[in-house]
Amino acid sequence: MKVEIEIFADEIVIPLDFNGKKKNFLALGALFVPLKKKEVLIKKLTNSRCLFDKSRVWVWNHPDCPFAQECKNKWHEQNNTEIHHEKIRSARPNNSLIEISKRWIKLLIDTNKNEESLVYFNILYIDLDMLNIDEFGTEKAHENIYNKFFRTLIHYGVKAFFSEYSSVIVKNVYHDEGSMEHHNYFPFLNLHKLQENIGKIGYVENTTIKFLNSDHRSYQQAENDLYRESQLIQFIDLILGTATQNIYYLSNDELKKNIAMIIRPLVSRLLSNPNNKNSSYNYYRKQKISIFPKFPIEKTEIYIQTLNDDFVKDNLRGQFYTDKSLEMPPFDNDQKSLNSFFS
Ligand SMILES: [Zn+2]
């Protein structure tokens, strides 16, 4: 039995100051989409864009909407927005963005609860302080770390989620082009190396990473079908952003905290009990979050630059951990709405 999948990747690069505490880490996220489930997932995501209660079925153009008489062109334009976690802000809130973001995270939780195997993701945090990276914080060192752990991210995901198949064929790897602007990541050989890496369990068919604009509207204007794939880039951006908000508390924004609370029960379980087969959240062999490394690493430069992927796999395995407490305190949505009601 073989399975064909596509991968949609995104990342958050910091250092970032929050509450006087410096955060210096790299967050990598990848969505693994079996081709057989791609249509269903995109359909569920896009239908969540229709905020017109009578319909709940999304059509891109207002004239094609079965409710075109009651529904408004303006609503279609507003709901055809880019879902981007960074853009969720309490100051000048974009209602469509907030509503659709909530629905997308609920969709993740609901499909899990319904025991559907639809959403597969792997998230990996690299704690750069523990790598003593500042001592030799060259661009090259960051690139090497990035590329090495990007492969680890994909490799672990493929192994953890699809090991029941005798062969896993990675048809395409997509990446958000926006986040890559300032870096020279993904040298030409990256996916070729991954191909060797996952040799026993499958192979990468297209070793050229496809960079995608996360704003699908540019593809729509150009009548390019990639606006569909762009939805999946937006979805992993949102999952990564909301998970990271819970784990590292990067923003004090109330709307970011509000939406983070929807994914929180899943995130906290993934960290505290990642191998629980009986959780009602049904994440086992579908979703993973891990952090690297558990203990400070000396001579990281030598590890990263001179040693191969098998070294990371074999010798540093014990350095991956999950049992990290959430830095964001619980945020009471009801209390918030009550407060804004009376204020
Ligand atoms: Zn409509």
120-170 pLDDT per residue, tens: 999 999 988 888 765 445 667 777 788 888 888 999 999 999 999 999 999
Span from the CA of 219 to the centroid of ligand 1 (angstroms): 21
CA of 326 to the centre of ligand 1 (A): 40
How far away, in angstroms, is 297 Cα from ligand 1 center? 55
CA of 30 to the centre of ligand 1 (A): 32
Please tell me the distance between residue 218's alpha carbon and the centre of ligand 1 in angstroms.
21
Q: What is the pLDDT of residue 343?
A: 43
d(CA 225, CA 46): 14
Instruction: Give CA–CA dist 339/94, Å, rounded.
Output: 20
- Residue 117: what pLDDT? 96
Tell me the CA–centroid distance for residue 65 and ligand 1, in Å.
5
Q: Residue 68 — pLDDT band, cuts 50, 70, 90?
A: confident
Whole-model pTM: value is 0.92
Please name every residue paired with 28 in a beta bridge, in sequence order, or none if there are none. Answer: 11, 124
Residue 120 phi, psi (nearest 5) = -115, 125
41 exposed, middle or buried (CB, 10 Å; 0-12, 13-18, 19+)? buried
Looking at the chain, the whole-number percentage of residues with pLDDT higher than 70 is 85
Q: How many CB atoms within 10 Å of residue 185?
A: 19
CA of 250 to the centre of ligand 1 (A): 36
Residues contacting 59, CB < 8 A, separation 6+: 50, 65, 66, 76
- Give the structural domain span for 254: 2-342
pLDDT > 60? residue 250: yes
The alpha carbon of 37 and the centre of ligand 1 are apart by a number of angstroms equal to 26
Q: Using the mean position of ligand 1's atoms as its centre, give its distance from the Cα of residue 62 in Å.
A: 6
Structure confidence at residue 201 (pLDDT): 85
Expressed in angstroms and rounded, the spacing between residue 58 Cα and the centre of ligand 1 is 7
Give me the number of domains the chain comprises: 1
